[in-house]
Structure 1
């Protein structure tokens, strides 16, 4: 994720991916990113294309539009809220493609790859001051997908920050996937557990309904849809925009992300006859 002291909001990230936002402004004591750096975000890779110190008085309405701000006044007010004594930097941004971990976690490793992953997991376990944790964590995520990280950490007797830090290590190797709520085991992670012969409760579960998973739309919107049994994009296409927007927790951002995902998949919301009346 972007780590600039102020996180990019989901709507800003979506706008960067769409090409509607290509700059950001931050007050820093010194530059905190380098040109050419590609940063992982919820929408994929975002590349830093430029980093320039600029006087506040030089900012224009065009700068505000490129940053996704409502107006030049809003942009300046936002910059003055945090460390107004620091200089302003303009950071050029561009969407650089999907996160390579997406393809990695879907790929089933061969025996040589599994052996290398096992060696890496063993090394993490040996280096841990709290004892082995890698298989226990993978098995817990497999048992309880889409469960809040604090709840998972509590079951393991761990604090949430260190637990999440360790899960990120597994995610880097494509063994897990982050959801809007919690995590799930990837096919790659499942292959490793199966190779080692670990008993997995999910083996006895029904296979998930085939189709396209929901995009990242936020925890509240995800809960609202899953409460209806809607867990795949094809099921969303059976609902109208009005029906989805009426759900508690679904706002404009979630609707925009769903609409974009449907378009990309060649699907659309169900027509709502009452909308035109």
Structure 2
């Protein structure tokens, strides 16, 4: 699900806990999770609803002043079924992981995983970490060109590193997390 920036801020404050979408089939699943710029949403419930069953309280939970405003939302135009998605907002678990500086043994385990990724010829994670460490905040296309790969390929590789808690995105570019710096330092020792 996509949300406007203003909606995300209200989700983070706990003001919005429900979304409505018109989809041919549900694109969210109860028990699923969705990362957003303001944290992670845990999908608690997804159910098809009839327009006639959407009430004023539903509209307020979705961040609208009233039912009429909700039904006028462009996301609810069309003829596909309406889905009510209830969710709970929480922190992105990668945030804590990025701050979790590993000891020597754990860093060696992470390095072994990075070496396995490099052996499978997917990409060299340590090379990517070194490039980011040397160029914090530099644009992804510039870093990709330096690494000799397409920008989208580079971004996918950095997302993988982010999943490991080793990098973090900035408004422009990336930087190593404390965890990533510790792993890179261990690789050099």
Asked whether 1:156 is paired with 2:151, we answer no
TM-score, L = length of structure 2: 0.88
Asked whether 1:90 is paired with 2:84, we answer yes
Alignment size in residue pairs: 188
Using the TM superposition, give the Cα deviation of residue 9 of structure 1 relative to its aligned residue in structure 2, in angstroms: 2.1
Which protein, 1 or 2, shows the higher relative CO under an 8 Å CA cutoff with sep ≥ 6? Answer: 2
Partner of 1:262: none
Using the TM superposition, give the Cα deviation of residue 62 of structure 1 relative to its aligned residue in structure 2, in angstroms: 3.2
In the alignment, which of 56, 59, 73 is matched to residue 51 of structure 2? 56
Q: Is the 8 A contact 2:114 2:124 kept in 1?
A: no
Deviating above 6 A after TM superposition, structure 1's stretches of 4 or more consecutive aligned residues are none
Q: Is the 8 A contact 1:114 1:192 kept in 2?
A: yes
Asked whether 1:108 is paired with 2:104, we answer no
Using the TM superposition, give the Cα deviation of residue 114 of structure 1 relative to its aligned residue in structure 2, in angstroms: 1.0
Which runs of 5 or more structure 1 residues have no equivalent in the other structure?
Answer: 199-277
Q: Deviations over 1:99-144 (max 9, x none)?
A: 2221221122111111111111111112235xx4212211111111
Q: Is the 8 A contact 1:17 1:94 kept in 2?
A: no
Superposed, which structure 2 residues align to 1:188-267 within 5 Å? 188-197=179-188
CA distance in 1, matches of 2:38, 2:76: 28
Using the TM superposition, give the Cα deviation of residue 56 of structure 1 relative to its aligned residue in structure 2, in angstroms: 2.2
CA distance in 1, matches of 2:40, 2:93: 9
**Which structure carries more strand by proportion?**
2
Using the TM superposition, give the Cα deviation of residue 71 of structure 1 relative to its aligned residue in structure 2, in angstroms: 5.0
Partner of 1:167: 158
Q: Is the 8 A contact 1:15 1:21 kept in 2?
A: yes
TM-score, L = length of structure 1: 0.62
Partner of 2:75: 79
Which runs of 5 or more structure 2 residues have no equivalent in the other structure?
Answer: none
Partner of 2:30: helix, strand, or coil? coil
Q: Deviations over 1:205-246 (max 9, x none)?
A: xxxxxxxxxxxxxxxxxxxxxxxxxxxxxxxxxxxxxxxxxx
Label 1:190 to 1:69 Cα distance change in 2 as closer, same or farther (>3 A). same
